[in-house]
Amino acid sequence: MPTALKIDRPLVLIGLMGAGKSTVGRRLASHLNLPFVDSDEEIEIAADCSIPDIFEIYGESKFRDLEKRVIDRLMDKDPMVLATGGGAFINEHTRTRVLHCGTVIWLQADLDVLIERTSRRGGRPLLEVTDRRETLKKLIDERYPIYGNAHIIIKTNGDTMDSTVDKILTALSNNSESPT
């Protein structure tokens, strides 16, 4: 595993709910001695309101607009590890911005892994449905082709946090050694 990586731009974690963006992101940031930022937490601060409340009161389109503006602001900052919401990268403006200004890392997980992981906690407005499997499958079908534009793809099925962080560090090291 590489020990000294020079990170000169934000590392942007993308993926569906339950892929491990926040959990892995915190550990990755600690390892790299970088700040960790969760875009959902930044959105809640900006709105002075929880994500479920934003969805309920203002709807998903207002949430997505706020998400776009918050991520735009964050991309102007120094290097960090940024965990984004599952739908952030789907927005064309946000996708273009993070691909241009950051290194985008897709944490990819299979459907059964996502179902198991998302069952551990609530607060996920898109999963407040009767058939979470069907909803997650639909999101996989819609979003995975777009997530495929990421600079780095890390499969996380069954991996520990440390193993996933090691995979990311190795990919970052290989990426920095590649000619541009």
Task: Name the CA dihedral angle for 130, 20, 155, 15, rounded to a multiple of 10 degrees.
Answer: 70
Q: Check if the beta carbon of residue 3 is closer than 8 Å to that of residue 99.
A: no
Q: Average pLDDT in the 51-58 region?
A: 88
Give the pairing of strands 103-108 and 11-14: parallel
Q: Check if the beta carbon of residue 140 is closer than 8 Å to that of residue 16.
A: yes
pLDDT (tens digit per residue) in 107-137: 999 998 888 877 665 545 455 656 778 888 9
Q: Establish if 1 belongs to a structural domain.
A: no
pLDDT at 145 (0 to 100): 96
pTM comes to 0.89
d(CA 114, CA 109): 6
- Encoding tokens for residue 47? 């709105």
Q: Establish if 4 belongs to a structural domain.
A: no
Q: Provide the domain limits for residue 104.
A: 11-171
Sheet holding 81-83, edge to edge: 36-38, 81-83, 11-14, 103-108, 152-155
CATH of the domain at 150: 3.40.50.300
pLDDT band at 2 (very low <50, low <70, confident <90, very high): very low
Share of the chain above pLDDT 90, in %: 63
* DSSP tag of 124: -
Q: Average pLDDT in the 129-158 region?
A: 89
Mean pLDDT of the chain: 88
Q: Establish if 133 belongs to a structural domain.
A: yes
- Name the domain count of the chain: 1
Q: Establish if 155 belongs to a structural domain.
A: yes
Burial of 115 (0-12, 13-18, 19+ CB in 10 A): middle
